Structure 1
């Protein structure tokens, strides 16, 4: 049996055929480049556990899971849309959570000072 490999595409600057390792590395780089889009799961989980005002943290967590699912399937456009929604929901959950925490500290202090 003859085990020679014939390639149709060769680099332009050399006359050596591409080997399997070079093609595999290029494919790995392409796959890693496509999946580098963040899905904000950790941030959504933090907002769900600690800053869950108006259930925005839980909704953001659900959207981040949908984004991760779309990314695993290969639908990068759908994953980007869910990631954008997740990012917006996380920002609002964090802002509202910080405001509510500050109000929960300030209002009892003001009530206690009013009775003294």
Structure 2
């Protein structure tokens, strides 16, 4: 937040990684390449439309790659790009911070209500 010239870039990225499906997808792909149905199964309650939209969004931003597999039926595999891999550690840190502070934040929120 030191350089105000880059604020719009920061907010743009924050809006991307603030999406729960984006975070879940990056977390799943941090373990290695995954097929579409594997990602969907691991996330659980995401709709096909939302997962497809999320994967396209990540691919358009250069955070994942999509590879068509020469299988029957044809499969699609997704993988984090090198720049996408750089997001894993910050997201892990944010996750740890959220778990560590969730009770404190919840109690403060209840006090304010």
Fold shared per TM-score above 0.5: no
More strand by percentage: 2
TM-score by length of 2: 0.28
Which of 1 and 2 has higher RCO (CA within 8 Å, sep 6+)? 2
**Pair member with larger Rg:** 1
